[in-house]
Structure 1
Amino acid sequence: MRVITGELKNKVDRVWDAFWSGGISNPLEVIEQITYLLFIRRLDELQTTKERKARVTKQGLENPIFLQDTDHLRWSRFKGLGSPQAMYQVVSEEVFPFLRELGSDGSTYTAHMQDARFTIPTPSLLSRVVDMLDDIPMEERDTNGDLYEYLLGKLASAGVNGQFRTPRHIINLMVAMMAPGPEDSICDPACGTAGFLVAASEYVRKNHSTVLTDPAVRQHFSRGMFHGYDFDSTMLRIGSMNMLMHGIDSPDIRYRDSLSEGASEDTAKYSVILANPPFAGSLNYEETSKDLQRVVKTKKTELLFLALFLKLLKPGGRAAVIVPDGVLFGSSTAHKGIRKALVEDQKLDAVVKLPSGVFRPYAGVSTAVLVFTKTDSGGTDDVWFYDVRADGFSLDDKRNAVQANDLPDALNRWTLRTTTEHGRARTEQSFVVTKADIVAQSYDLSLSRYKEVVTDATEHRSPLEIIADIQDLEGQIAEGLEELRTMLK
């Protein structure tokens, strides 16, 4: 990922500090207020495009966003008002009510703005935020995306319900392992800030030029490829804006409790799932989809999400998802059942063990990436294991950049797993385990179960030899003391 630098970064930092000194100390609220203003500016840009088209075609304005009586609510109008106080009054008393009442423009964004609240406390702070955002060229996707990623990077505390941001470099590894293409339909059923969907869009854009040149492919890319669900309306707003800032016009970002009955309509709909679902503990049976309970009878959210992923995938669809270590070796009937289903009924491709410091400072939980393909007819012959010991950052709360980084090697070996990896010993950092061995271990998927540790044999001298050496040293000490006594007489 590129990073914003220089004057723009300094402006963002200064505005961020101003929010905090102004009494808004919740990072989510800061980003949410900036999101609303970015959306308001986006509406003005869209109106300007419509007006330009109307002038060129000599036809009337098609589906205008702002009418004559609301024209003064456009970004380009209120930013030019003479005083911060005047702008503050228009934005708080007119622009935000307008935003809440806005009709659909064919995207999912307007739906997420219906409960928009304006909480910027002072005219001077609003003026500073508007000035900062006005300096950003909206037509430059890279700058927009980098700005938003920088803002999201300031989410330095865990959210509710076990939510915390997945580090971008881990997301990129998982996306590259999936290698999505322009024909895929990609879903994250616990999308949060949409990090996986954004990374997948960047991967497809970089590796498949047809998304820019073929109109049909571009249409699918902008409106049909990316799907995300969350039950946190703030996250939906932020995730939607993250996608918009990265050049995805109309992603399907929707409110949904993914483990409830409501997910049934999307059965076998997606070809790729990328996710880091919340590990929130337990749910009531009554709140959980009966379809998922038929797959795995449990209250554990991490197991229910695995059942959900299998439900949402098309036959042949593939998934890379983060799970807590307990999923790999838990001894309950539900734990064993879901692992057996992955190995026997589907095609389990890989288990990538992550170091326990990957999610610091948010959480110290040990995790792994499970990679599997939905077949409903088995197909697991062997499973590839990789032990990530270093991810390019220190594994403490500071997470400073360091030299050691196994992720490039992990990706390279993943691409070669069907050839060179089968010959590697289980003492290596990556190796292949046969299905028969996994069955023999009651479907335990923890890497330590199969890793062979070789210790160098150490030869120890016999106790009698050691005693003889001690006696010899004692004799030398006695002789030295006698010489010293003689010298002092």
Structure 2
Amino acid sequence: MTIENLVKRIQDIMRQDAGVDGDAQRISQLVWLLFLKVYDAKEEEWEFMDDNYESIIPEELKWRSWAPDNKDGKALTGGALLDFVNNRLFPILKDLEVDEYTPQRAAIVKTVFEDAYNYMRDGVLLRQIINILNEVDFNDYQERHAFNDVYETFLKSLQSAGSSGEFYTSRVLTDFIIEMLDPRIGEVVADYAAGTGGFLTSALEHLRLKEETPEDRETINTSIVGIEKKGLPYMLAMTNLILHDIDEPGIKRGNSLADNVREVSDKNKVDVFAMNPPYGGVEGPGIQANFPNDMQTKETADLFIATMMYHLKKNGRAGVILPDGFLFGTDGAKVNIKKKLLKEFNLHTIVRLPAGVFAPYTSIKTNILFFENKGATEKIDFYEIPLPDGLKNGFTKTRPFMKKHIEGAQEWFLHRENGDENAYSATIEEIEKRNFNIDIRNPLNIKDEEVYTLDELMEELNEKALEIESLLEELSSVLKGDK
């Protein structure tokens, strides 16, 4: 089995089905199938370890009961398979009885299927996809973990289904942020805009390198928490963590902005935040009311920064990806949020990402902000990741942002005393004079006007067109929100 071949075979089959329209539906269709197969493999493990284990899924609805094809002509296919899926599997799993006493690893089945749908109309094509998934043996530890790479490929395809990286942040960025935050065993690591769980799985893998005892493993497995608002990325995140051997993923379905920040208790605070909140979104008056008057704004990303500040423990650490707009914005609420961030927290580092990091799905420039709950900011260290030779206008789909492009920032982050031409600083006094505009560029990188060839001009115009398109999408979102 090769990753590319398996993904391509499934995608090619789904494109033949008249009921599946677009990447979002293809991914959603695949995820509920994948979840059931992965969950069935985990149940076999639980049954082996506990003779008294009881499944929340009726026996005839378990993957092992209806999905295998033994090549004896008895496997469900065509109209019979569609009838089973649409009229038995989905109605029963959506209506499972769950209460406060239901173990979380059982309750997640109902939660996942509450927003799942079978889009496929051709039962023969559906059978073909099921047979491909059955080629992966999730009971085999090595093969299950090899499938993580396949799953990563699935998640990448979400970039064309979401907007502005809403569902997926590249492994390069999640690993970098987690490594710089360096969570320790016993600390709670959270992502309140969890998406597909990229930050959480990066944190999980980072922490498992530190474990020494079975108790460490149990502590790690219960210290990864997240909240996700939308059904599709929630399903992806749950499956992602199960694939990473988390039996009871600590991800809740809901809007993390719906809680009143004035009422956050110490028990609800976390040690480490790693996030890429959705930007370009808008929130209504009911959500805004959960924040102090001077911080109320419709901009989703700004409210997430406020949420992080109220939920971060003393001495806690955070790394968050934000667009340039947060840095240079000077409207009242945005400035007030930045004032709180700088006056009460230590915003010690901003890594400025080059253009095209999220190409081709958005051209909005972004930054990684690192801050800690250890007192006020005195100065901010900036690191501006340079574009490699030959990419004057930014990364592209064919030449994407890769691990090697962030290695300089990582080396500098850990050894700042050595200096770097891409690094510079600004004091809090300088920032206050700028009315808290922290959109500060490296003075060494300010160049004289450059002479472009015709090809270079055309490339830049194309990049500008993508940027305008992205801004129009943001404007459309704002107008839909009646801003």
Give yes or no for TM over 0.5. yes
Counterpart check, 1:321 vs 2:320: yes
CA–CA distance in structure 2, aligned partners of residues 26 and 15 of structure 1: 14
C-alpha deviation, 1:178, in angstroms: 0.9
| Unmatched segments (≥5 aa) in structure 1 | 1-5, 55-59, 457-489
CA–CA distance in structure 2, aligned partners of residues 106 and 76 of structure 1: 22
* Within-5 A mapping of 1:185-204: 185-204=188-207
Q: Alignment partner for residue 227 of structure 2, among 226, 229, 233?
A: 229
Task: Calculate the TM-score normalised by the size of structure 1.
Answer: 0.79
C-alpha deviation, 1:185, in angstroms: 0.7
Highest RCO, 1 vs 2 (Cα 8 Å, sep ≥ 6): 2
Q: Alignment partner for residue 381 of structure 1, among 378, 383, 397?
A: 378
Partner of 1:12: 7
Q: Alignment partner for residue 77 of structure 2, among 75, 84, 108?
A: 84
Counterpart check, 1:63 vs 2:54: yes
Partner of 1:438: 431
Listed one character per residue, the Cα deviations across residues 302-361 of structure 1 (whole Å, up to 9, x for unaligned) are 222111110111111111101111211222232322222222221111011111211111
* Within-5 A mapping of 1:381-400: 381-390=378-387, 395-400=394-399
Moved more, 311-320 or 175-184: 175-184
Counterpart check, 1:75 vs 2:75: no
Q: Which amino acid aligns with 2:436?
A: Y
* Within-5 A mapping of 1:27-426: 27-53=23-49, 61-65=52-56, 70-78=58-66, 79-80=68-69, 81-85=74-78, 86-102=80-96, 103=98, 104-107=102-105, 109-110=108-109, 111-138=111-138, 139-140=141-142, 141-157=144-160, 159=162, 163-205=166-208, 207-210=209-212, 214-222=213-221, 224-261=222-259, 264-265=263-264, 269-290=269-290, 292-294=291-293, 296-375=295-374, 377-378=375-376, 380-390=377-387, 395-401=394-400, 405-417=404-416, 419-421=417-419
Asked if the contact 1:358/1:391 (under 8 Å) is kept, the reply is: no
Sort the Cα spacing of 1:436 and 1:446 in 2 relative to 1 into closer, same or farther, 3 A: same
CA–CA distance in structure 2, aligned partners of residues 161 and 432 of structure 1: 29
Partner of 1:473: none
Asked if the contact 1:393/1:402 (under 8 Å) is kept, the reply is: no
Task: Calculate the TM-score normalised by the size of structure 2.
Answer: 0.80
Partner of 2:443: 451
SS at match of 1:183: coil
CA–CA distance in structure 2, aligned partners of residues 310 and 442 of structure 1: 21
Asked if the contact 1:185/1:270 (under 8 Å) is kept, the reply is: yes
CA–CA distance in structure 1, aligned partners of residues 61 and 281 of structure 2: 45
Asked if the contact 1:295/1:307 (under 8 Å) is kept, the reply is: no
What percent of counterpart residues are identical? 26
C-alpha deviation, 1:297, in angstroms: 3.5
Q: Which amino acid aligns with 1:451?
A: P
Asked if the contact 1:393/1:400 (under 8 Å) is kept, the reply is: no
Moved more, 335-344 or 227-236: 335-344
Asked if the contact 1:43/1:65 (under 8 Å) is kept, the reply is: no
CA–CA distance in structure 2, aligned partners of residues 193 and 310 of structure 1: 23
CA–CA distance in structure 2, aligned partners of residues 434 and 125 of structure 1: 61
Listed one character per residue, the Cα deviations across residues 168-191 of structure 1 (whole Å, up to 9, x for unaligned) are 212222111111222221111111
Sort the Cα spacing of 1:399 and 1:308 in 2 relative to 1 into closer, same or farther, 3 A: farther
Sort the Cα spacing of 1:392 and 1:76 in 2 relative to 1 into closer, same or farther, 3 A: farther
Moved more, 386-395 or 138-147: 386-395
Sort the Cα spacing of 1:244 and 1:309 in 2 relative to 1 into closer, same or farther, 3 A: same
SS at match of 2:35: helix
SS at match of 1:155: helix
Partner of 1:474: none
C-alpha deviation, 1:53, in angstroms: 4.4
C-alpha deviation, 1:250, in angstroms: 1.7
Sort the Cα spacing of 1:358 and 1:44 in 2 relative to 1 into closer, same or farther, 3 A: closer
Asked if the contact 1:355/1:390 (under 8 Å) is kept, the reply is: yes
Listed one character per residue, the Cα deviations across residues 395-443 of structure 1 (whole Å, up to 9, x for unaligned) are 35424258994410101110112x334xx6xxx2112333333334333
Listed one character per residue, the Cα deviations across residues 156-204 of structure 1 (whole Å, up to 9, x for unaligned) are 4252698252222122221111112222211111111111111211222
Q: Which amino acid aligns with 1:28?
A: A
Q: Which amino acid aligns with 2:249?
A: P
Asked if the contact 2:90/2:113 (under 8 Å) is kept, the reply is: no
CA–CA distance in structure 1, aligned partners of residues 380 and 83 of structure 2: 62
SS at match of 2:271: strand
CA–CA distance in structure 2, aligned partners of residues 168 and 175 of structure 1: 10
CA–CA distance in structure 2, aligned partners of residues 228 and 384 of structure 1: 29
SS at match of 1:314: strand
Sort the Cα spacing of 1:445 and 1:121 in 2 relative to 1 into closer, same or farther, 3 A: same
CA–CA distance in structure 1, aligned partners of residues 395 and 218 of structure 2: 43
Sort the Cα spacing of 1:334 and 1:393 in 2 relative to 1 into closer, same or farther, 3 A: farther
